[in-house]
Chains A and B, each alone.
Chain A
Amino acid sequence: MNHDAYPDNYIRGILNSVKSIAMVGASPQNVRPSYFAFKYLAQRGYDMIPVNPGHVGKDLLGKPFVASLSDIGQPIDMIDIFRNSSHIMPVVEEALTLDPLPKVIWMQLGARDDAAAEKAEAAGIKVVMNRCPKIEYGRLSSEISWMGVNSRTLSSKRPPAPTQGMRLSLNRMSVGGGETAASDRAAKNKTERS
């Protein structure tokens, strides 16, 4: 997988297929990006599990914190890692001990570890790096268009009136991005420089 520019269908396929998401580094502080993403993905119907050893005994929006991936005790479709790039590898290594393995490992905006990605991919796990699943879900459904964001999708279909907790269709026509987007090229140049 080219981790500089993901085809929309790759992201769409992941967000349409996974049901349970363990969020490593989930924060109970309501101004942290992980809190935003946790809350949004729960509202869109994903089964969310907060993983953070510092908050065991508490819960996040009604979901009890667990200390580590191995404490979850149920199969997990996707692991969403809210940690800096330097803390990714141990999480991926722990994920690779799970049985069954997760289908997807997702690293948040700003987080990237190519060696960890390679390990996960060698085990048949799909990897996404330096993206936010909330932003990608909002973009592919065009819900993020409320914020003036370029969803890079088009549709001539009448969508259902959105209600709380509703899953939204992500099956809109993609109109560019990835290698065609200046923002992605800038991110790639930054990776190459560092």
Chain B
Amino acid sequence: MSDRLPGFSTLAVHAGAQPDPTTGARATPIYQTTSFVFNDADHAASLFGLQSFGNIYTRIGNPTNAVLEERVAALEGGTAALAVASGHAAQVVVLQQLMQPGDEFIAARKLYGGSINQFAHAFKSFGWNVVWADPDDVASFERAVTPRTKAIFIESIANPAGSITDIEAISTVARKAGVPLIVDNTLASPYLIRPIDHGADIVVHSLTKFLGGHGNSLGGIIVDAGTFDWSTGGKYPMLSEPRPEYHGIRLQETFGNFAFAIACRVLGLRDLGPALSPFNAFMILTGIETLPLRMQKHCDNAKAVAEFLAGHPAVAAVNYSGLASDKYNQLARKYAPKGAGAVFTFSLKGGYDAGVSLVSKLQLFSHLANVGDTRSLVIHPASTTHSQLDDAAKVKSGAGPDVVRLSIGIEDKEDLIADLEQALAA
């Protein structure tokens, strides 16, 4: 009962989890059930009316998922979280709470290629209009603000080149515009960067990457910082106005500083349906217990590999913000002092063909479309993750034709370097 604050590693193991009341099970059980029995009719009505805490149906909430939600909320320093089926699902659910048809949101141009597609095409068909800005030019965000702007979206460490975003500077723009700042913290994980400490109002993750960490389970999560006042000016009616779905409840008034997470659950997840499997939640929770150990090893290995590549005669350039010579090194020192992440790109003097040859010769690195696995991964973004973009957009997002992306795993760094060395030879 002391007020001593436990550290990050303690929270990574304990937050949200306690022994199971019924069986005493110490590991979090997998509650693989669709539904939960009500005590009586009044209990059922209380749960459906949001008057009581409890479980109804796994599309709205599940006890295994709830442990995952509280754990990530604790690690990020938020008030609450909502786990969903994927990182993409998290983005749909977040924006559904904020956007009406015809509204705009500003997004950094340097994003995961899948997010660029989702924003530019799928969301456009909902009438949610993305306006692109350059994360290296904060003024471009300011210029993009209009009366219809409802949110700003950035990545803390941007895919694919691992560049670092100046979260505090962009949060100042968001505050001035009176809109929430949404930060995708997938590539950093809260071990390296806690965006809420730098002014983020909402944090989203693909849990599939470093948080789960083992490349075995998809998942996404939304963390509510509890910092944004949704009540002003009727700008966010999902939160501030009486909701007909719940007989006129106003979510902000009822749930205070975790109202956004509740809106995502009871208006987003309930009605759009991208629920996370409790089995995946269990796998991801197990991964999170070792997040601090893995993430440090990922970063240390990535730095060693980036240094090796920077000194190799076949390499034209390495984009890793952990290198002292990198354009983003100052920002990396400020925002991610423990390490600059483990996803970065480099380009080969031999261009596109040399990239294809490298990928085919690697023995340890796996050629696939994921990042944040224990295993080291390699991909050629221009022909895969970013292939739907036109050539100019590819270059702007850091995925030009000569660029190879690596996600460094937790193997022995000497073996990773030896693998790259043999593949670059010849």
Contacts and interface: CB of A to CB of B under 8 A. Distances in A.
Interface in A155-194: 155-162, 164, 171-176, 180-183, 185-187, 190
B271 interface: no
Interface stretch (B52-60, B154-162, B338-346, B408-416): B52-60
Contact of B22 (A138, A161, A173, A176): A161
Interface residues of A, number: 52
Contacts of A132: 256
Contact of B66 (A138, A145, A172): A145
B6 interface: yes
A162 B246 CA distance: 27
A47 interface: no
Interface stretch (B108-116, B206-214, B221-229, B376-384): B221-229
Nearest to B78: A150
A144 B256 CA distance: 13
A31 B53 contact: no
B1 A30 contact: no
A39 B52 CA distance: 9
Interface stretch (B43-51, B140-148, B327-335, B394-402): B43-51
Q: Which of B43, B79, B246 gathers the greatest number of chain A CB atoms within 10 Å?
A: B79
Interface stretch (B9-17, B233-241, B351-359): B9-17
Interface stretch (B117-125, B258-266, B285-293): B258-266
Contacts of B391: none
B66 A148 contact: yes
B313 interface: no
A158 B53 contact: no
A78 B70 CA distance: 30
Contacts of A183: 78-79, 225-227, 257
Contacts of B79: 149-150, 181, 183
A164 B2 CA distance: 29
Interface stretch (B184-192, B247-255, B299-307): B247-255
19 contacts: A43-B52, A132-B256, A144-B53, A146-B53, A147-B66, A147-B258, A148-B65, A148-B261, A149-B70, A150-B74, A150-B80, A151-B16, A152-B74, A154-B18, A158-B24, A171-B1, A174-B2, A181-B79, A182-B227
4 smallest CB-CB distances across A and B, nearest first, come from: A183-B226, A148-B69, A186-B227, A150-B73
